[in-house]
Structure 1
Amino acid sequence: MRILILGATGMVGQGVLREALLAEDVTEVVVLGRTPVGKSADKLTEIVHSNLFDLSDIESRLGNFSACFFCLGVSSFGMSEVNYVHITYGLTLSVAHALLPLNPMMTFVYVSGAGTDSTERGKTMWARVKGKTENALLGMPFKAVYLFRPGIIQPLHGVKSKTRAYRLLYPLLWPFITVLRPLIPGVILTTENVGRAMLNAARRGEGDKVLESKDIYRLSRKNIL
């Protein structure tokens, strides 16, 4: 498989990148983003592109992918709904529309979040916008669309969050998460779980569309090769 990852510098993206590089059936991992990921590997190719809303200059490098793992996102804290829609909905759909004609047999995996509002009518702004984004992706004729809704994620293997608040909070919560995760694995995931589940979604290319934490955990445990 050839895998395209957006958001590889974030916590989820870092974990997904690690698992993709370790997977024997992945021949190449292409990371697309505004900044370098700071890693090197034989299977890793980086495309640094300043304007992800316009991919026309790099179209020739964006074809023949088995899957796209869209891990790019921002916190809604302190943002207006207009700005959050522009980044969350606008950028995701802009990238998806650019990739679709170049990769009609692609599996598109989008990282949403627990609590996403599929009705688009709830009181929570970020949940409505995520729901709108999910619904739009489901309406696109990719080979398959998977919507990941993880809740609590424990970073492993040196993965770190880009969000300062999370970086400060994780060391305090680490002892509790480490104890609780084996007891409730379908509630607390690891970056390893999420990465392996995404790869299995790409391998399967069909099945469930919306995956909550428990579904992500189950998919991560399957042996799909």
Structure 2
Amino acid sequence: MRIVITGATGFVGSAVVRQAIADERITHAFVLTRKPLPDDVSKNEKITVVEHKDFSTWPPETLEQLAGVEGCVWAIGGRATQFPDVETARKVSVDYTLAAANVFVTELAPKLLEGQKFRFVFCSGKFAEWDQEKKLRMMQDTRRIKGQVEKGLCDIADANKEKFEVWAVRPGGIVKKHANIMNLLTANTSGIIEVDHLAKAMLKIVLDGHTDRIVESGALLKI
């Protein structure tokens, strides 16, 4: 399978790239990035690095490179507190993601084999909230933003059922490989997951799909 990966310079996205290289069923990955990647990634025969500065626009030459891509693992975003302000967080997390999904529906999905659907896997977060008016006690901006992206992606998929599928994964805490024993002992109740496990799970979903469109933290740990 040929896929697109975003967020490759981040914690989750870089793990997705590593696991894509290791996964025999991923035949090629086009890594969209605004920053240079390490040589061991950029020079790997399975990786094509596509420099893409503005994720709100998609030039024809970029889309030509991506022709034939069958799916995407989207790992751009993060907690709202990681951005200068909520407006920036919403632009990066909501606007960029939905802009890409709409372009993939109109420009990439039609180029697939008849009956084949483009698959889009979004890295969301535990407790994402679709109701933008609901009062929340903790992490309200992050949860609303993640929920807005999820709903927007699902709306796009519902409007294009014959050619576009979406899954949103909701990890709790994400930790490095070989996390301390306390993190691992509490994983089943808190949703904590090792980053490589999360990356493998997202790749498995883009390859095989999943029964649930929203994949909660407990289900992720079983993939």
TM-score > 0.5, shorter chain as reference = yes
Select which of 164, 168, 173 maps to 1:143. 164
Instruction: Give the SS at the match of 1:55.
Output: coil
Seq. identity, %: 26
Aligned partners of 1:81 and 1:17: how far apart in 2? Answer: 28
Which of 88, 98, 105 is equivalent to 2:103?
A: 98
Q: Where does 1:190-205 land on structure 2 (aligned, <5 Å)?
A: 190-205=194-209
> How far does residue 75 in structure 1 lie from its aligned partner after superposition?
3.6
Q: Distance in 2 between matches of 1:80 and 1:97?
A: 25
The question of 1:46 aligning with 2:41 is answered no
In 2, the alpha carbon distance for the partners of 1:27 and 1:43 equals 7
Choose from 100, 113, 127 the match for 2:125. 113
User: What's the counterpart of residue 32 of structure 1?
Assistant: 32
Cα pair 1:6 1:70 within 8 Å, conserved: yes
Give, in whole Å, the separation in 1 of the partners of 2:186 and 2:222: 12
Q: Distance in 2 between matches of 1:103 and 1:206?
A: 21
Distance in 1 between residues matched to 2:20 and 2:186, nearest whole Å: 25
What is the identity, as a one-letter code, of the residue corresponding to 1:24? Answer: E
| Aligned equivalents of 2:149, 2:21: Cα separation in 1 | 28
What is the CA–CA distance in structure 1 between the aligned matches of 2:34 and 2:170, rounded to whole Å? 25
1:180 paired with 2:182, answer yes
Q: Aligned pair 1:152/2:179, yes or no?
A: no
Does residue 81 of structure 1 match 2:86? yes
Moved more, 32-41 or 189-198: 32-41
- TM-score when scaled to structure 2? 0.82
SS at match of 1:30: strand
Paired AA for residue 218 in structure 2: K
CA distance in 2: counterparts of 1:128 and 1:188, whole angstroms: 20
Cα distance 1:211–1:47, how it changes in 2: closer, same or farther (>3 A)? Answer: same
Change (3 A) 1:145 1:29: same
Q: Which shifted more, 1-10 or 49-58?
A: 49-58
Answer yes or no: is 1:59 the counterpart of 2:80.
no
Q: Offset of 1:129 from its aligned partner?
A: 1.7
Q: Distance in 1 between matches of 2:168 and 2:192?
A: 18
Q: Is the 8 A contact 2:76 2:92 kept in 1?
A: no
Instruction: Measure the CA separation in 2 of the matches of 1:45 and 1:21.
Output: 11
- Partners of 1:21 and 1:6 in 2: CA distance: 15
Q: TM-score, normalised to structure 1's length?
A: 0.82
Aligned length: 200
Partners of 1:127 and 1:35 in 2: how far apart? 27
1:122 to 93, 112, 134: 134
Deviations 1:74-108 (A, max 9, x none): 44226443332222111111111111123322110
With over 3 angstroms needed to count, the CA separation of the structure-2 counterparts of 1:197 and 1:86, relative to structure 1, is: same
Give 5+ residue unaligned stretches, structure 1. 157-173, 220-225
Superposed displacement of residue 155, structure 1 = 1.7
Cα distance in 2 for partners of 1:143, 1:91 equals 18
